[in-house]
Structure 1
Amino acid sequence: MNVPIKRRPEKTGQTMSFCYGDEQITFERVKRPQATGKVLIKVHPDCRVIASAPEDADSEAVLSAVKKRGRWIYEQLRDFRKQLEFITPRQYISGESHYYLGKRYLLKVIETPEQVQGVKLLRGKLEVSVRVKSTDKVKERLTDWYKERAKETFAKRLDAMLEQALWVDERPPLRILTMQTQWGSCSPSGRITLNPHLVKAPRECIDYVILHELCHIAEHNHSERFYRLMNRVMPKWEKTKEKLDGMAMAITN
């Protein structure tokens, strides 16, 4: 199983829709963990609408509950769409903001034809040295730097989280892999894969993803047992997840 990036996640539930005014609003129905009789509706910054409902809830009842919140959903979508208009692809030039461990740093590109190329974190800035200023070269240097930091950071955090994951008998293999739709995943054999973009998030977000995958070693599906484990090792994981979801577009762009 995996922790999806809430920017372009894979569909896991039932797609439904309804009309509000002249707009058709599509939403995804998913099973609500530790479900009560209520339908929980959430609009994400990437304009996805999710309705979490008990598994045995009637589809018409779920649709009715979502329709009742139609105006609120419409207004949320309108506000998030306005925000998305201001998100532009990175150009990898001096003055841009880039993240590392939850903090924002200004990018400083230095052209040094005769010196060693690389990346340094100095005085609140990410300094990238290249022989010739080029978007591709700066991006390449930064990508390599993030991957190296990810290897070091994830290994340390995995060791720390294993102290809480008492159900794990031995240290699982760890792989770093850039993924478009996932922060992390756990294979049936227990290998954990983490997205290097995650190293741009705060430490508690990294810990959340690692713990999520460690819980999948005990329970590969999102079952009641899985959520009991998550609640035990990270009681406020839902707030941390929400924080990570809110950063997704900024740190993967």
Structure 2
Amino acid sequence: MSFHYGEEQITFERVKRLHAKGKVLIKVHPDCRVIVSSPEDACNEEVLSAVKKRGRWIHEQLRDFRKKLEFISPRRYVSGESHYYLGKQYVLKVVETSEQVESVKLLRGKLEVSVRTKGADRVRDLLTEWYKSRAKEIFYRRLDALLEQALWVEVRPSLRILTMQTQWGSCSPKGRITLNPQLVKAPRECIDYVILHELCHIAEHNHSERFYRLMSQVMPKWERTKESLDGMANLIFSA
């Protein structure tokens, strides 16, 4: 669906919330997607009217996110670049080696990638695999630790690591949790927030009042952590 604000046409995706009542919820993502969550029984005209009333706010959010995107340079995967891991920046050091084994290591504050032949594609591939490996280890460990808080979860949920373009995580209706390996670039508290968010969905699959009450019980200041994670989104997803 779309509407005009001034000379700009703003397109948004409507997501229906099952068994939900109340107002329309609008979210502008750092990648400039606009997602509108509304009760299932609300007609398109009602949703469009609600969105238009927030037109100025949506326009300003899009303007701010677009400005941030302008200053993000595409990765070249060469020595001297900064790359994130667990919320900290590490300087990339690409080393050409004649040894058979290519590797990625954290050494003295640097992210060192050893390759037989220097090339952006190979360095990127090695880093991607390293991030996935680290993500798998850290996500499983944090899930086990956070399950002690999620007293409503009776059976340990299955966990899948899957690269997604714009999502940190998701929870299927059957309780399977999917996490984006890119999340391992964020601070640990942000990783905990996403895992707890998905664990809360096991009890309440929609973003209902009950869901947010549960979220506040297990992470009282989750809004601040979410804001911090959203602020890093452009940097992380561009890496």
Q: Please, what TM-score do these two structures have when normalized by structure 2? A: 0.83
Partner letter of residue 124 of structure 1? Answer: G
Quickly say closer, same or farther: Cα 1:75–1:185, change in 2 above 3 A: closer
Counterpart AA for 1:66: R
RMSD across aligned C-alpha pairs, in angstroms?
2.9
5+ residue gaps in structure 2?
Answer: none
Aligned to 1:17: 3
How many Å separate the matches in 1 of 2:178 and 2:48? 39
Other structure's SS at 1:147 match: helix
Q: Which residue of 1 aligns with 2:138?
A: 153
Give the aligned partner of residue 11 of structure 1: none
Matching of residue 65 in structure 1 with residue 50 in structure 2: no
| Aligned position for 2:190 | 205
Q: CA deviation at 1:75?
A: 4.8
Aligned pair partner of 2:79 in 81, 94, 106: 94
Corresponding residue number in structure 2 for 1:183 = 168
Higher relative contact order (CA 8 A, sep 6+): 1
Q: Aligned ranges for residues 8-157 of structure 1 at < 5 Å? A: 15-20=1-6, 22-27=7-12, 43-49=28-34, 58-59=46-47, 62-63=50-51, 65-67=53-55, 70=56, 73-114=58-99, 116-157=101-142
Opposite residue 133 of structure 1, the aligned amino acid is: K
1:88 CA drift (Å): 2.9
Q: Is 1:166 the counterpart of 2:146 in the alignment?
A: no
The verdict on how the C-alpha distance between 1:189 and 1:102 changes in structure 2, with shifts beyond 3 A counting, is same
Cα offset, 1:183, TM superposition: 1.5
Cα distance in 1 for residues equivalent to 2:5 and 2:201: 38
Shift, 1:249, TM fit:
1.9
The whole-number CA distance in structure 2 between the counterparts of 1:138 and 1:62 is 47
Contact 2:26 2:51 in 1 (8 A): no
d(CA) in 2 for partners of 1:200, 1:219: 28
Q: What is the rounded CA distance, in whole Å, between the counterparts of 2:176 and 2:205 in structure 1?
A: 12
Do the aligned partners of 2:153 and 2:202 also contact (CA within 8 Å) in 1? yes
Post-superposition Cα deviations, 1:35-91, rounded to whole Å, max 9, x if no partner, equal: 987x87665433345667888995476245324xx3x65455444323322323211
CA distance in 2, matches of 1:103, 1:131: 27
Change (3 A) 1:25 1:188: closer
From the superposition, tell whether residues 190 and 42 of structure 1 become closer, same or farther in structure 2 (CA, over 3 Å).
Answer: closer
d(CA) in 2 for partners of 1:30, 1:201? 27
Q: Aligned pair count?
A: 233
Please tell me the residue identity of whatever aligns with 2:4: F
Separation in 2 of the partners of 1:220 and 1:75?
30
TM-score if structure 1 supplies the norm length? 0.78
Question: How far, CA to CA, are the matches of 1:222 and 1:252 in structure 2?
Answer: 24
Please give the secondary structure, in 1, of the residue aligned with 2:225: helix
